[in-house]
Each structure stands twice: as structure tokens, then as C-alpha cells.
Amino acid sequence: MSEKVVFYQGNEACAEGALYAGCKFFAGYPITPSTEVAEFLARRLPKEGGAFIQMEDEIAAMAAVIGASLTGAKSLTATSGPGMSLKLENLGFACITEVPCVILNVMRGGPSTGLPTGPSQADVMQARWGTHGDHPAIALVPGSVQETFTETVRAFNLAERLRTPVILLTDEIIGHMREKFTIPAKGEIEIWDRPRPTVPPEEYKPYDTSEGIIPPMADFGSGYRWHVTGLNHDETGFPTNIPSLVEPEERRLMAKVTENLDIIEKYEYIEKKGSKVAIVAFGSSARSTRSAIAKAAEGGINVDFLRLVTLWPFPSHVVNEMADKVDVIIVPEMNLGQMIEEVERSVKGKAEVTGVNRADGEPITPDQILEKIREVS
């Protein structure tokens, strides 16, 4: 397929990106502001030889996505706050069993039902720590419709390459706004598939790491019969509670992320000459930040900008280096202060850290950020 220019919503771009990445299965449960992803894929997946199913709730949807992925089908689910909360137990199952899948959370306001149609960025910490127990976490935070497409493709690639669930964290604004964007021609973005076993079935050990920390994964029905369990397991996949086997596996799950930062981390760092203030932001707050920084420059104030495209793992080393240069780091986020804690942790007291927060269902405006820039300059 050749390149195509379209006028899409962020949610539609996610769905299109999933198809581009080779997604063959979607299971979901309707919830604002994510439903367009399901509607789009209900139309498109059967045309592309895939399958769509609306399940009875988000728990079942998350379960179905993992089940489908075990047969080898790249799988997606999409939801928002209340639904994300329901998915969490099975998200942990995907972490420990190392089943690739992608979960879109289009953030909306409030705890509980909150503000169904209002944007928010209040699931920052849920994306990292939502499911119980130590577990790896990858969360990508696109800031435009085009980037929702490319980051969805990247989410699938990372999920497959690292055998782990990947969360796409957008918000109501990114999900619903329309922008012109280009669907790249087939082959323009590299598509990755999970490593599959090359040994004969009788030699297959599903968590054998002799070739590297990402063990090859066999599709159900491909002749490799293996056992998948959410219990801690050894390299054969069967349950174990032997301490000397459990902890190395727990550590390996984390290492899949920490040892692959080169392909996971992504950010945009716009440095200005002599700036004493920097801003760390993502998603729709980063859009307001960009205008605020432009306005500040007109008034003669230079501000550095770190826009995250990968939120988790958090790029602490980058933020820490920023703190060597600037005196103040501003963290605008549509919540009452979540990412700011990670920023504070990263700067280790080397710079002042201050937030611009909003939790009323309205986006943070450029003027709010500009005001803060002036205040601290």
C-alpha cells in the first residue's frame, strides 16, 4: 500500500496504526473517550482477516487479548479510567507470562466515573504501578494524531520484541482531536514480530534465556505444547516457589525494560541558549507548553523543553542532566501532581521543581504555563 493522507481523530489513528503494525485481534468494552477505536476496528478487522469482539466487560476483554496473543495474533484493547482499573489484574498476568499486547488508555478525568468527557493525565502512576507486585512497565504518550499512529506501531513493536504488555497513554484531547496526517506506505516503518522458537518442540523451554533475556514464544497450535501460568514459574513454564528460581525471573522481567532503554526511551529535547527554566511535559499538556515557550521567547525568556514520548520507563538521567543547567523545572500536567514526583526524584535537589496542575476537566492553557514561567524567571 502506498502513502495516504487522511484527516483522522487520534483514536482512529491508533486503530490504523494497530492495523499497520499487523494487529489481528481486538477485544474491548465501550467507554468514552476510547470507543472510536473499537468502532473503527469492528469495521476494519474482518476486512483484514482479523477478528473483533466486544466482550462483557474490560476484564474479559483484557483476558481475550492475552488469549488471542497466545495463538500468535497481535492484539489490542482500548479503554479509559474505569475500564483500565478493571484490566489491571490481567495486565499483571501478561507481564509475568510475557505475552505481548497493547493497551490504549485514553485518560479521562476523576477517580471512579469522574468526568467521562473531560481530558486528564491522572493515570500516570496507574500506568506504572497499577497492577500489583513488581512488574515492568512501558507507557508511550503520543502528542498528536500522527504520533498516535507512529507510537501505536512502536507500541506493538516493543510489545513483540520484549514480550511484554505496552500501554499507550493518551487523553481525551489527543483521542478526539482531528488532524491531517500521513499513513506511511507499507514497509516504511519496520514491523517486528515476537521471537519464535527455532528448536524442535521436544527441546522447547518457554522461558529459556540461554539466547538472551527475551525467550522465544511459541504460538498455541504450532506444535509446541507449553504451560502458561500466572504463578511464578521456572524456565520450563511450570510453577515454582524455589527462592533461587523466583527472584532471578522477577529481576529478568524488569531487566527486559532496563536493558533495552535504547529502543524504549523516546523524547524530544529542545534546548535554548542560556535558559534557566525548563519544562517537562507530555501529551496535550505538551502542546500548550510549546505555545507557552514560544510566547515566552517573544518576551525574551528562553525555556528548555523536554517532551516525553515514552513516559515509562521515566528518563531520569535526562531530567537529572537538565537540572545541572537550569534553576527551575516546571511540570505542567492535567492532574494534581503525579509526574512531578518522578521529576523531583530525578533532579536530586539540584533544581527547584514546580507544577502547573489542573484537574477540572479543562486543558492546561498556554497562558497558565506562561504565567508560571514569568513567576519563576
- Which residues contribute to the site for another protein (CB under 8 A)? 24-25, 27, 46-49, 51, 53, 55-57, 59-73, 75, 89-90, 93, 220-223, 225-231, 238-239
Least distance to another protein from the beta carbon of 1, Å?
10
Least distance to another protein from the beta carbon of 219, Å?
8
Give the nearer residue to another protein in terms of CB position, either 55 or 189: 55
Give the nearer residue to another protein in terms of CB position, either 163 or 372: 163
Q: Helices 35-44 and 10-21, interaxial angle, to 10°? A: 40
Coil, helix or strand at residue 222: coil
Give the nearer residue to another protein in terms of CB position, either 88 or 340: 88
Residue 77 β-bridge partners: 103
Least distance to another protein from the beta carbon of 71, Å?
4
The grid cell for 273 is 541558549
Least distance to another protein from the beta carbon of 15, Å?
15
201-235 in b/e form (b: 16+ CB < 10 A) is: eeebbbbbeeeeebbbbbeeeeebebebeeebbbb
- CA distances to 64, 251, 309, 368 from 73, rounded to whole Å, are 11, 27, 26, 45
Coil, helix or strand at residue 371: helix
Least distance to another protein from the beta carbon of 58, Å?
10
Give the nearer residue to another protein in terms of CB position, either 64 or 145: 64
Give the nearer residue to another protein in terms of CB position, either 24 or 161: 24
| Contact call for residues 268 and 257 (beta carbons, < 8 A) | no
Least distance to another protein from the beta carbon of 55, Å?
7
Q: How many other CB atoms are found less than 10 A from the CB of residue 306?
A: 24
Give the nearer residue to another protein in terms of CB position, either 4 or 227: 227
